[in-house]
Structure 1
Amino acid sequence: MQARLCSKIACAREAVATLTYDYGDQMAAVGPLGAAGDPHAHDLCAIHTERLSVPKGWLVVRHETLRT
């Protein structure tokens, strides 16, 4: 299986999370890397996941995986 890369321009790091937007609710959701590439989602590396910013008034929901 080939690793997916970060969607940010000029970033060649491996993606670790998937970002989706809900424009109607002004919300961005970040979660574990999706099982398959989705044309409506953006894969992000760890650095870009941490640096994520959204427009003023938007909500960011971060779905974390359970670690044992």
Structure 2
Amino acid sequence: MELFDGRSIIGTTFGDFKGKSQLHELARACTNGDVNLDEFITHELPFEKINEAFKLLSDGKALRCLLHI
């Protein structure tokens, strides 16, 4: 939520991304197919296995888990 208040992410893998001014451009790039977010999803699980998803993330075995409701 802090990104919507004008804060920025600095010193991360993604660089200094400014959520307030750059988020809409990222969303547009994803919608246009310029950025493929599917490559960052390493696991897909049903919502009932949310605890397993957190375990995979904390163990470093997953980058992103997509939960299906």
**TM-score normalised by structure 2 residue count:** 0.23
Higher share of residues assigned strand: 1
Higher share of residues assigned helix: 2
- The structure whose RCO (Cα within 8 Å, separation 6+) is larger is 1
